[in-house]
Chains A and B, each alone.
Chain A
Amino acid sequence: MLSLLIIPLPLALLALLIPSNRWRPLLLPVAGLACAALALPLVFSSQLVVGHWFSLDPLGKLVLLVVSLLFAGCGCYGFGYLRMRPERDNRVFVASMLMFLFSMLLATLSRHLGLLWVAIEATTLFSAPLIYFNRNRHSIEATWKYLLICSVGIALAMLGIFAIAYAAVNQGVPVDLQLVTLLQLGPKLSHPWLQAGFIFLLIGFGTKMGLAPMHTWKPDTYGEAPGMVGALLAGGLTSVAFLGVMRGVQVMAAAGLMQSAQRSLLILGLLSVALAAVFMVRQPDIKRLLAYSSIEHMGILAIGVGIGGAATFGAMFHLLNNAFTKGSLFLCAGNLQRAFDSKQLDQVHGAIERVPASGTLLLLGFLAITGSPPFGLFQSEFSILRGAFSLHQAGIGIALLLLLGLVFIGMAGTLLPATLGRSTAPVQKKSFGDTPLTVLPPLLLLAVILLLGLFLPEPLHRLFNGAAALLEVQP
């Protein structure tokens, strides 16, 4: 298990040492594929690895699966992408990518709340240079907002962890920040402190997930970062931050405060979906549109866990669906931005004509992310809605349905004209078309979501069930 963690470190060092700008990016697919190859057997092995600092439970396994496969895809794409940007020195970029991978893996494996916090904080620091890759006014503004807002968020999460620990100190119970200890202590923890701690944890890691109203950095950051970085942030980092929130939910459930945790999740979740839906209508910028879509899906995840029951299973399934689909969408949006030299709707028209593969994939990705059958998101959103209606939360179910309809209209308004129709903008001299390395990763990611919508294999089903079981009210 630890060999997984050790892979990215020497490669990051190597990235700093390799002099060739052309061959250095090869480290990205190497690291991604190696980690994915090591992670897959870990995720699907039935034996439970339990260590003191590191271990894998179904929740960690699920996020590990998402992060490692997504990085493998983005790594291959990145090799192709950086070859098209030979004018930019990519030394820091490649090294930061690998350290970013390391810190995300560390977060999925850690069993100690303090270590988890350090890992998630490290993801913020290592992703900042990635967002600033284009080195212009807009990207510096996006990087500054990202750093400042996320650092404050992460600081609040630390306060939350401290308050959770104090919930035990206050009762005179000996405690450490091992998740196991906190879960065992459960009912003995002081309730006011635990509740305060959970709220801070939710706000803190929620800032990193991009839950409203702490989402303000997200459209700017995703809009200005390169497509592959957007894919990793929207698919991988948000899942890792969600894992942080879920660790808090586990402690709340163990202490018998699940209802209070669910209420907070529902409020933030509904607010996120509603706010994202409003801003998606008439959104002229494709990447910003995808950023709002990411806020929406983080809201759906929070709502799923907030409802509980069948909806929690739906949320676990949705985590995987959202990560892969959003990854594919951001990679395609990057391809379009290069082909048209713009990401604004007034410049990008009829992408299917200019870049057939990326345009078609973006259109299919749009259908997938809005929950159209037969893609996996239809299944997961359906489970969440079914959970809502069967658990007498019909009001939430109806509100969610209406908002999802609004989101569909908003996304269609931007993405349909961008992909369909005739391409009007003049072709630049140095225009980028589709290449295998920039088309295959998003194609494969989307194919997985299509297959999962048609058939959910038994091991995955077990994994989702296991993860959902961790978030149930403990007897």
Chain B
Amino acid sequence: MTEQLLQLLPFAVILLGFYVLASQRLRACVEAVALQGALISCYPLLLHGFEGQALMLSGGALLLKGIVIPLMLLRAMRKLQIEREIESLIGFIPTLVVGVVVAAGAFLFADTLPLALEHHHSLVVPTALATMGCGFLLIITRRKALTQVLGYLVLENGIYIFGALISKVLPAMVEAGVLLDLLVAVFIMGIVLHQIKREFSTLDTQPLTELKE
């Protein structure tokens, strides 16, 4: 059961990443990121079984990545009345193609790294790298500040997947700190979003180019 889930989970996670890259509807993107966050919160449980710390880490991630942060973003969207469509610096299909290439690269690269025996079949490392790649692409190619925050969240999701491999060596306090930092980061980004909207009456980051050489 655990084995099968560990086989299926990577594909769901990576496909959700692709969906965010290709989708033009902002609301759907937030929901996809929320679903991805909820899915990856299973990783500690699947890798380490039901035990105290894994449960806490999973629960914390499910609560924050799956529920609290997406709700915060949806609320920000409502308050700021952001248009639904997303503009991209390069087309959506080209971004998706680059995303697929990055994911393939992640699988090839992860093959060259030595893995502990128990992690050989779980595809954790390539999934983490591919998800991080999707996050990077979102941050680089999207013009809306809110989508850049989504990109940051996808990047964090990728790192969380990798972190699940070593969550045994991380004390609970540090994990709590990591999750708290993520929450505060998104919270502050939300405040800044609000200020950008007030200053420029748009959430496009394109006008944010006055500071340059």
Contacts and interface: CB of A to CB of B under 8 A. Distances in A.
Asked if A pairs with B, the answer is yes
B170 A177 contact: yes
A415 B162 CA distance: 48
A169 B166 contact: yes
Interface stretch (A77-85, A112-120, A317-325): A112-120
**Most chain A beta carbons < 10 A, residue from B113, B181, B192, B209:** B181
15 contacts: A118-B174, A121-B181, A125-B181, A125-B188, A141-B210, A152-B136, A158-B159, A158-B178, A162-B165, A165-B170, A170-B115, A171-B116, A176-B171, A177-B174, A279-B213
B210 A125 contact: no
Interface in A128-175: 128-129, 132, 135-138, 140-145, 147-148, 151-152, 155, 158-159, 162-163, 165-166, 168-172, 175
A115 to B, nearest CB: 6
Interface residues of A, number: 50
Given A114-B174, A137-B200, A166-B165, A144 B208 contact: yes
A162 B113 CA distance: 14
Contacts of A118: 174, 177-178, 181
Contacts of B152: 148, 151-152, 155
Contacts of B189: 147-148, 151
B199 A136 contact: yes
A124 B170 CA distance: 22
Interface in B139-191: 139, 145, 148, 152, 155-156, 159, 162-163, 165-166, 168-171, 173-174, 177-178, 181, 184-185, 188-189
A115 B169 CA distance: 13
Contacts of A163: 162
B210 A137 contact: yes
A192 interface: yes
A224 interface: yes
Contacts of A250: none
Interface residues of B, number: 42
Contact of B184 (A114, A125, A171, A219): A125
B175 to A, nearest CB: 8
A115 B174 contact: yes
B181 A114 contact: no
A132 B195 contact: yes
**Most chain B beta carbons < 10 A, residue from A162, A163, A223:** A162
Contact of B155 (A122, A132, A152, A192): A152
B199 A169 contact: no
B114 interface: yes
Contact of A172 (B112, B116, B166): B116
A175 B166 CA distance: 10
A171 B119 CA distance: 12
A35 to B, nearest CB: 22
B184 to A, nearest CB: 5
A144 B163 contact: no
B89 interface: no
A439 interface: no
Contacts of B116: 166, 169-172
Contacts of A142: 211
B interface: dominant SS: helix
Contacts of A122: 181
B174 to A, nearest CB: 3
Contacts of B188: 125, 128-129, 147
B55 interface: no
Contact of B199 (A137, A151, A171, A219): A137
A193 interface: yes
Contacts of A169: 116, 165-166, 168-169
Contacts of B199: 136-137, 140
Contacts of A112: 171, 174
A155 B211 CA distance: 25
Contacts of B196: 140, 144
Given A140-B195, A158-B163, A219-B211, 12 more contacts: A125-B184, A128-B192, A129-B188, A135-B195, A140-B192, A141-B209, A155-B152, A165-B170, A169-B116, A175-B169, A176-B171, A193-B113
A409 B178 CA distance: 45
Nearest to A159: B159
Nearest to A166: B166
Interface in A66-114: 112, 114
Interface string B120-140: 000000000000100010010
